[in-house]
């Protein structure tokens, strides 16, 4: 007889989105809550509704004012929602007060992002980085957390076996998790990540020894970075229409029209209000941008808020110390833009290119642009090689770009673009 099979499906939480509309915000509150809704969906929950309040600043005790809090309480009941998620990081006091008043699950933007990272970290390094950020978040909220710690540490009755957003996490899951245990775990995580960072540095050293130029792909989350990497190199990287679909950096070799090629590295996407704990935890991953010869900044051309997102990327790069690296900006997803619409050039980039990773439009132009930018930074060699130094000529052909060669009585006269280490070999041969 065929055996009965039972599939357990976890019910998705239904959450009410709550935002505070402050003067000078970078995005209209509707757009900010729209982004929060996408984060919630990516984390595995549904949006039951959204509500906002105009205030000079979030209320110090309850995030929103007393009247709005009563309105939220009615909404949660009427919409049969499991809880709320606020569009900012809550203080421990705000979270505790909201939970005591609303008597439901209370999440903040940081918790949702941490939860997404927890689900999508596939490598050992990614898992360690996410856990470090989660444990630091827990430690900062341990004092007087009460119900918040029980929710962070255990499952949710309304979320089924999986516990829902905020319940997934590493390490201890008991209410009695204390500072000593978390600090011990933080110490171990930092030690493990130090080992990982040393291994990553050895990999970088091997890349430097190959003398291949490096391009780091950066951009706002869901701008299409992984799709572009796949289109250029057939990398086979997971690419979905979701925020933070990939976290772990992937490096692939890209063949250029001339020269030895280039290493392309896809990095984790940036986002507004990215938790500082995540920036710190993912520092070794984000450092890929610091070691790049060129940054390929991918922008979703079809997103009406792309200028705001570009500012976020540049601000994050500046905080990492990568603001001095040359940038090539690729306006991606141009297939979603109204035909004939003009996209502005990026004044902070060396060159701006319009592409569509989905259709292939503009990819040849992008590759040629990257080649021009990379090779123009290499020294120009104009020297005569003695015929017995055929080894140098071979290295030029393998590691550089041979622009011209002419056989003369004194040897082979060459003009070429080569990397700095190879250029140093020509100092005694008449290289200017």
Residue 417 and residue 368 share a domain: no
CATH number for position 123: 3.40.50.11060
16 & 105 share domain: yes
Would you place residue 354 in the very low, low, confident or very high pLDDT band (cuts 50, 70, 90)?
Answer: very high
Selected residue with higher pLDDT from 289 and 297: 297
Identify any residues that bridge with 20 across adjacent strands, giving them in sequence order. 53
428 — pLDDT class (breaks 50, 70, 90): low
The set of long-range contacts for 140-145, using a CB threshold of 8 Å and a minimum separation of 24, is 140/92, 141/92, 141/95, 142/177, 142/178, 142/179, 142/182, 143/92, 144/92, 144/93, 144/96, 145/92, 145/95, 145/96
What pLDDT is stored for residue 155 in this prediction?
39
Same domain, 78 and 104: yes
Which residues, other chains included, contact 119 with Cβ-Cβ below 8 Å and sequence gap of 6+? 43, 44, 168
Predicted confidence at residue 147, as pLDDT, reads 46
**At residue 143, does pLDDT exceed 60?**
no
- Residue 321, pLDDT > 60, answer yes
3-state SS class at 352: strand
Burial of 399 (C-beta count, 10 Å sphere; 0-12/13-18/19+) = middle
Are 388 and 370 within one domain? no
The reply to whether 246 and 171 lie within a common domain is no
Angle made by CA atoms 244, 248, 254, in degrees to the nearest 5: 105
- Answer whether 0.85 is exceeded by the pTM: no
Contacts 24+ apart (CB under 8 A), 353-358: 353/328, 353/329, 354/301, 354/330, 355/228, 355/330, 355/331, 356/332, 357/224, 357/227, 357/228, 357/230, 357/231, 357/332, 357/333, 358/224, 358/227, 358/231, 358/333
Q: What is the CATH number of the domain that holds 219?
A: 3.40.50.300
Does position 80 have pLDDT exceeding 60, yes or no? yes
- Per-residue confidence band for 153, with pLDDT thresholds at 50, 70 and 90: very low
Region 288-297 average pLDDT: 88
**What whole-number percentage of the chain has pLDDT above 90?**
40
Note the pLDDT of residue 169. 53
Residue 206 lies in a domain: no
Residues 220, 359, single domain; the answer is yes
Cα 156 from chain centre: 29
Domain range for 111: 10-199
Please provide the average confidence, as pLDDT, over all residues in the chain: 83
**pLDDT band at 431; cut points 50, 70, 90:** very low
106 with 220, same domain: the answer is: no
Which among 170, 199, 228 is the end of a domain? 199
One domain for residues 356 and 395: no
Do 303 and 331 lie in a common domain?
yes
Q: Which of 82-86, 212-216, 263-267, 275-279 has maximum average pLDDT?
A: 82-86
Q: Has residue 205 been placed in a domain? A: no
pLDDT for the residue numbered 211: 76
Spatial separation of the C-alpha atoms in residues 54 and 49, rounded to whole Å: 17
Question: Is residue 3 situated within a structural domain?
Answer: no
If asked whether residues 137 and 64 sit together in one domain, one would say yes
Same domain? 43 vs 125: yes
172: pLDDT confidence band, cut at 50, 70 and 90?
very low
Among 176, 199, 222, residue at a domain's last position: 199
| Span of 152-166, 335-349, 395-409 with lowest mean pLDDT | 152-166
């Amino acid at each position: 007889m065929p055996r009965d099979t039972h599939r357990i499906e976890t019910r998705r939480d239904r959450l009410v989105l709550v935002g505070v509309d402050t003067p000078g915000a970078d995005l209209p509150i509707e757009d900010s809550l729209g982004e929060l809704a996408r984060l919630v969906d990516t984390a595995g929950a549904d949006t039951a509704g959204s509500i906002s309040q105009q205030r000079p600043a979030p209320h110090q005790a309850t995030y929103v004012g007393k009247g709005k809090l009563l309105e939220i309480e009615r909404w949660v009941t009427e919409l049969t929602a499991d809880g709320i998620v606020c569009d900012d990081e809550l203080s421990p006091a705000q979270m505790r007060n909201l939970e005591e008043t609303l008597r439901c699950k209370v999440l903040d933007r940081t918790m949702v992002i941490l939860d997404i990272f927890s689900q999508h970290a596939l490598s050992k390094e990614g898992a360690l980085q996410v856990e470090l950020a989660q444990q630091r978040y827990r430690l900062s909220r341990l004092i007087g957390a009460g119900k918040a710690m029980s929710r962070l540490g255990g499952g949710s009755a309304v979320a089924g076996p999986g516990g829902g957003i905020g319940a997934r996490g590493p390490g201890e899951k008991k209410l009695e998790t204390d500072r000593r245990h978390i600090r011990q775990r933080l110490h171990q995580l930092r030690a493990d990540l130090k080992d990982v960072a040393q291994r990553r540095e050895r990999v970088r050293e091997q890349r430097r020894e190959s003398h291949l130029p490096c391009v780091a792909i950066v951009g706002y989350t869901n701008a299409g970075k992984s799709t572009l990497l796949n289109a250029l190199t057939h990398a086979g990287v997971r690419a979905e229409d979701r925020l933070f679909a990939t976290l772990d950096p992937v490096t692939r070799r890209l063949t250029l029209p001339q020269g030895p090629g280039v290493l392309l590295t896809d990095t984790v996407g940036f986002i507004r209000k990215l938790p500082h704990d995540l920036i710190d935890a993912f520092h070794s991953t984000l450092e890929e941008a610091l070691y790049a010869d060129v940054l390929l900044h991918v922008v979703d051309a079809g997103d009406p808020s792309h200028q705001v997102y570009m500012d976020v990327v540049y601000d994050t790069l500046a905080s990492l110390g990568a603001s001095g690296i040359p940038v090539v900006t690729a306006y991606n997803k141009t297939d979603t833009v109204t035909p004939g619409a003009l996209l502005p050039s990026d004044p902070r980039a060396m060159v701006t290119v319009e592409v569509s990773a989905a259709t292939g439009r503009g990819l040849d132009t992008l590759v040629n642009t990257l080649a021009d930018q990379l090779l123009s930074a290499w020294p120009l060699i104009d020297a005569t090689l003695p015929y017995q130094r055929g080894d140098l000529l071979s290295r030029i052909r393998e590691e550089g770009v041979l622009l011209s060669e002419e056989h003369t009585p004194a040897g082979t006269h060459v003009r070429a673009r080569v990397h700095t280490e190879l250029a140093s070999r020509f100092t005694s041969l008449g290289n200017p």
